[in-house]
Amino acid sequence: MATVRDGMPHFDLYQPDSVEDALALLDRLGRGAHMDDGTDGPLRAWVLAGGLDCLERFKDRIRRPSAVVDLARVGALRGVRREGDETVIGPMTTLAEVARHPDIRERFGLLAEAAAQVASPQIRNQGTLGGNLSQDARCWYYRGGWPCYRAGGNICYAAAPGAMNREHAVFGARRCVAVSPSDTAPALVALEARLVIRNAARTRMVAAEDYFLGPETDITRLTVLEPDDLLVEIRIPPTWAGTRFHFEKVRDRPVWDFALASIAAAMRQTGDRIDQARLVLGSVAARPWRLPQVEAALAGRPREEAADAADLAVRGAVPLAHNGYKVTLARNLARRAILGQPPGAPSLAMGASGLMGAPDPSPARQTGKEAS
């Protein structure tokens, strides 16, 4: 339960209107300076997109940057365009815009569906795709300011005896058992998207799969972003355009709640035979959790006969005291994805038919997919 306080502590606010200015600011402010509370920190400036992950942490004094670089005016970071046969999305494009964009819906309905299921309409109207991909862990011990491994300490409260860990990881945990909270991350990994990252000195491009970090690589962050880095483009190649997609998110309430588990799958088929597939689970590990064993087992098989491949999805799962259900859930999600079955539980956002591949029945909508 959040505490309502008087407001956020002071920070200097910068509102650059170009990527170059933003990078110059981050270069100047981003490293080696002092935190507002007088401690030395690697981080002084903080990148602000829609603010839905950041602001509550400023309010709770969990993060106290002394400078905030707001990207709201950097028009170049917003919007969706085609470059050759790639779809290029600016990170400041809102989730609602992603969910309703005709090109994304037609070619990459998987991403549109994932974006349409994030949080609530207002959050989708303001939260950005870049922010959704780059958001931090939602483990409540960590968010509550407990000095755990992820916060630089030497204990994991969520894995301790008596801990509340119903929402935590069943795969790939090492010391920290927090999960990746992003709904759009598994979709972009399935679609083999590439992310362009810039700082003042260089530009690099990473596969979506490599953007996200597990605790074995770095226990204190979920992505490869450095403090002076900006995510500047999300590029989706034509590889999986228009193939069979399946997205399902399971959560306690159909609005607001993060996924307990989700699956994003892309399958190329000849008739009923699966030629090639990518399956990625969300919210079961610190990063989107690809299922290469399942993908290999599916190749070349008719999908009706391939459902048992779902059992491979959960090999090596290590449940905690309260999240054993995620193992069963993950297997069932993989199974339904292979068979193309509708979601197991009714979802307010999807309605009976889901939106994938369906043409937009009405003019532009800011709240994404409607129930049908």
Partner 1 sequence: MCDHDAAMSRPAGMTRRQFIRSVIATGVVSFSVPLLPARGGAAARTAPGTVERLVTLTVNGMRRRVDVLPNETLAQTLRGKLGLTGVKVGCDRAECGACTVLVDDVPVYSCSTLTHSVLGKAILTVEGLASPGGELHPLQQGVLDEQGFQCGYCAPGFLMTALGYLKTNPDPTRQQLAHGVSGNLCRCQDYDKILTGLLRGAEYMRRG
Ligand X SMILES: Cc1cc2nc3c(=O)[nH]c(=O)nc-3n(C[C@H](O)[C@H](O)[C@H](O)COP(=O)(O)OP(=O)(O)OC[C@H]3O[C@@H](n4cnc5c(N)ncnc54)[C@H](O)[C@@H]3O)c2cc1C
Q: List residues near ligand X by CB under 6 A.
A: 46-54, 71, 91, 95, 118-119, 123, 127-128, 130-132, 134-136, 181-183, 225, 229-231, 256-258
Interface region with partner 1, contact rule CB under 8 A, candidates 44-52, 230-238, 311-319, 335-343: 44-52
Please measure the distance between the N-terminal and C-terminal CA atoms of the chain and give it in whole angstroms.
Answer: 34
How far, in Å, are 82, 129, 196, 203, 246 from residue 233 at the CA level? 12, 10, 5, 11, 24
Q: Which does 241 bind (CB under 5 to 8 A by kind): ligand SF4, ligand X, partner 1, none?
A: none
Give the DSSP letter of residue 324: T
Nearer to ligand SF4, 159 or 225 (CB): 159
Taking CB positions, which residue lies at the least distance from ligand SF4? 148
User: Which tokens belong to 351?
Assistant: 């309605």
Q: Which does 106 bind (CB under 5 to 8 A by kind): partner 1, ligand X, ligand SF4, none?
A: none
Q: Which does 250 bind (CB under 5 to 8 A by kind): partner 1, ligand SF4, ligand X, none?
A: none
Q: Which does 235 bind (CB under 5 to 8 A by kind): ligand X, ligand SF4, partner 1, none?
A: none
Question: Nearest approach, Cβ of 142 to ligand SF4 (angstroms)?
Answer: 3
Q: Under rule CB under 8 A, which residues in 315-354 are in contact with partner 1?
A: 348-349, 351
Is residue 212 part of the contact set for ligand SF4 (CB under 6 A)?
no
Question: Nearest approach, Cβ of 13 to partner 1 (angstroms)?
Answer: 3
User: Which tokens belong to 141?
Assistant: 């011990």
CA-closest candidate to residue 108, choices 204, 212, 208: 208
d(Cα 147, Cα 111) in Å, to the nearest integer? Answer: 35
Q: Which does 228 bind (CB under 5 to 8 A by kind): partner 1, ligand SF4, ligand X, none?
A: none
Nearer to partner 1, 96 or 177 (CB): 96
Phi–psi pair at 282, nearest 5 degrees:
-115, 155
Q: Under rule CB under 6 A, which residues in 118-177 are in contact with ligand SF4?
A: 137, 139, 141-142, 148-150, 156-159, 168, 176-177
Nearer to ligand X, 113 or 136 (CB): 136
Identify the residue whose tokens are 């591949």. Answer: 357
E strand spans, the chain: 12-14, 45-48, 67-70, 80-83, 86-89, 194-198, 203-207, 230-236, 244-250, 261-270, 273-282, 289-290, 301-302
Nearer to ligand X, 122 or 328 (CB): 122
d(Cα 267, Cα 262) in Å, to the nearest integer? Answer: 17
Nearer to ligand X, 35 or 299 (CB): 35
One character per residue 238-277, x = contact with partner 1 (rule: CB under 8 A): ----------------xxx---------------------
Is residue 13 part of the contact set for partner 1 (CB under 8 A)?
yes
Is residue 14 part of the contact set for partner 1 (CB under 8 A)?
yes
CA angle centred on 228, ends 222 and 229, rounded to 5°: 60
Nearer to ligand SF4, 98 or 285 (CB): 285
DSSP 92-155: TSBHHHHHH-HHHHHH-HHHHHHHHTSS-HHHHHH-BHHHHHHPPP--HHHHTT---GGGTSS-
Question: Nearest approach, Cβ of 165 to ligand SF4 (angstroms)?
Answer: 8
Contacts of 308 (CB under 8 A, 6+ apart): none
CA-closest candidate to residue 25, choices 58, 90, 94, 74: 74
Nearer to ligand SF4, 62 or 76 (CB): 62
Among 46, 58, 247, 258, interactor with partner 1 by CB under 8 A:
58
Identify the residue whose tokens are 């997109």. Answer: 49
Question: Nearest approach, Cβ of 1 to ligand SF4 (angstroms)?
Answer: 18
Binding site for ligand SF4 (CB under 6 A): 137, 139, 141-142, 148-150, 156-159, 168, 176-178
